Amino acid sequence: MSANNISIKPVDNMISIVSAANTSYIMPGVTTDMLQKYDVSGPRYTSYPTADRFVEAFTEDAYKLALEQRSIAGAALPLSIYVHIPFCESLCFFCACNKIVTKHHERSAEYLRYLNREIDLHMEHLGTKKGSVHTISQLHLGGGTPTFFSDDELTELMNMLKRNFFFTPNGEYSIEVDPRTVNEQRLKHLAELGFNRLSFGVQDFDPEVQKAVHRIQPAEQVFSLVEAARRLKFDSINVDLIYGLPMQTPESFTRTLNQIVELRPNRIALYGYAHLPERFKPQRRISEYELPAAPDKIAMLSNALKAFIEDGYVYVGMDHFALPDDDLAIAKRQGRLHRNFQGYSTQPDCDLISLGVSAIGRVGATYSQNAKTIEEYYDYLNQGRFPVVRGLALSRDDLIRRAVIMAIMCQGALQYESIELAYVIDFKTYFANELTLLKEQQAIGMVELEDGGLQVTDTGWFFVRAIAMLFDKYLQTDRNRARFSKII
């Protein structure tokens, strides 16, 4: 569908988007002026400051210091661990991840040996007193394609981790799964290893869209795997979707949405495709002429929100939905939601040890990132060094703004007093300029401002990144925002 076949008009303070098929998509409280104003790029705030602010001046020595300080002051607090497995058998054209496309599975055995070296380095500097062990409450395997590893290799990886860390019984242990790489027997093996959460990459069920992005996987395959995962008693099953892909239309995406509603996963992550071919080489294989126009993307987003909410999903925030009895929805209701490099989480904010090529971690008031190429990653470890090539030590201002931004992104609310007590500031003086800008957002119904705090409205959740961006000091002087995805 072209942009000429769609119209957008305000109706009773709502946007009614009408397609050529006379299908209406409703976004309550959102006006055409708001859509135009906030059709901009912005960070997803899985961290603050964002990773593009990391500097090469942050070296291995700074990372060692952060680990050693943690071993003194916070060793009793649980850790989170992320393992990046970069290998994929085939290339998905939309992908912006750090990956290595290969059919040579013997490469994963070598990579596993280097992961073991990196774990050993961490144990040397984290420090373990006799009779004690480091506890983890959250593990995530991402990529790439973690299920590129064979069952034996996944077993070896988990054994490596369990030799060095204690997995809490109530933790979240998740793995990203390419449906094309697993069957029921493999899912059973993942459950036996201790994984209790699965994330299936679906993106879109439409065959033409799948062909356009070079990722063919029939819907029947995904349905069969989800049914198997339920039989195996996984705590939560997530499905990733992307709107704005080539060949998508509001009508075709509605068919995918109907299938997702029938599938009824515990969680849904709905992402807008960010076309950045100058940064991500695989995206150069996508023709911009095949991408849906902005009004079509708005229609897809609006229809997805309507479909999921009407089917009983809780809108957790930004791009996440969960069934009411899922831990993520419960955490949202109870004000316990957190956000880290993997997105929204139920686990308390804690240090993140990241393993593998390009992996990003957080220890104390620092962020760090490993080497982005596998050759450089191996070279550092061959020298007995951490493969950290850049990062950031957060300033006091960074910490204050991070607390504000995460409260907005996770709770949709902020009590000024909590920031004042934690950081010994006068909030209204410290953020005088930001509060002035917030009044403009209050005037159009995105936030409610009170004497002691702010509350994001239902309408404001559509643009929550724009609200958080007001407190981003780095963006205030940065005009080059095209490196980020669009807010809508």
Q: Which residues are annotated as a binding site for S-adenosyl-L-methionine?
A: 82, 94-96, 143-145, 176, 203, 215, 240, 274, 360
Which residues fall within 8 angstroms of residue 419, CB to CB, at 6 or more apart? 400, 403, 404, 425, 427
Torsion of Cα atoms, 389 then 390 then 393 then 394, to 10°: -150
DSSP state, 449? Answer: E
Binding residues for [4Fe-4S] cluster: 88, 92, 95
Q: Which amino acid is at 474?
A: Y
Say whether 371 sits in a helix, a strand or coil.
coil
The answer to whether residues 92 and 149 touch, using CB atoms and an 8 Å cutoff, is no
Residue 276 main-chain phi, psi, to 5 deg: -130, 65
The answer to whether residues 119 and 164 touch, using CB atoms and an 8 Å cutoff, is yes
Q: Which amino acid is at 288?
A: E
Terminal Cα distance for the chain, rounded: 19
The answer to whether residues 215 and 254 touch, using CB atoms and an 8 Å cutoff, is no
Q: And the tokens for 299?
A: 């229609």
State the number of CA atoms in the 13 A half-sphere of 46 facing the CB. Answer: 15
The answer to whether residues 280 and 96 touch, using CB atoms and an 8 Å cutoff, is yes
- The CA R_g of the chain, rounded to the nearest whole Å, is 22
Q: And the tokens for 409?
A: 């992104």
C-alpha dist (Å) from residue 212 to 124, 180, 208, 283, 289: 47, 17, 6, 11, 12
Q: How many helices (H) and strands (E) does the chain have?
A: 16, 22
Distance separating alpha carbons of residues 405 and 47, to the nearest angstrom: 9
Give Dmax (Cα) for the chain: 70
∠ Cα 266 270 274 (to 5°) = 155
Distance separating alpha carbons of residues 297 and 276, to the nearest angstrom: 16
Distance separating alpha carbons of residues 86 and 410, to the nearest angstrom: 29
C-alpha dist (Å) from residue 268 to 236, 257, 272, 305: 11, 11, 13, 11
Distance separating alpha carbons of residues 50 and 53, to the nearest angstrom: 6
Binding residues: 82, 88, 92, 94-96, 143-145, 176, 203, 215, 240, 274, 360
Distance separating alpha carbons of residues 363 and 357, to the nearest angstrom: 18
Closest CA to 231 of 219, 223, 242: 223
Residue 372 CB neighbour total at 10 angstroms:
15
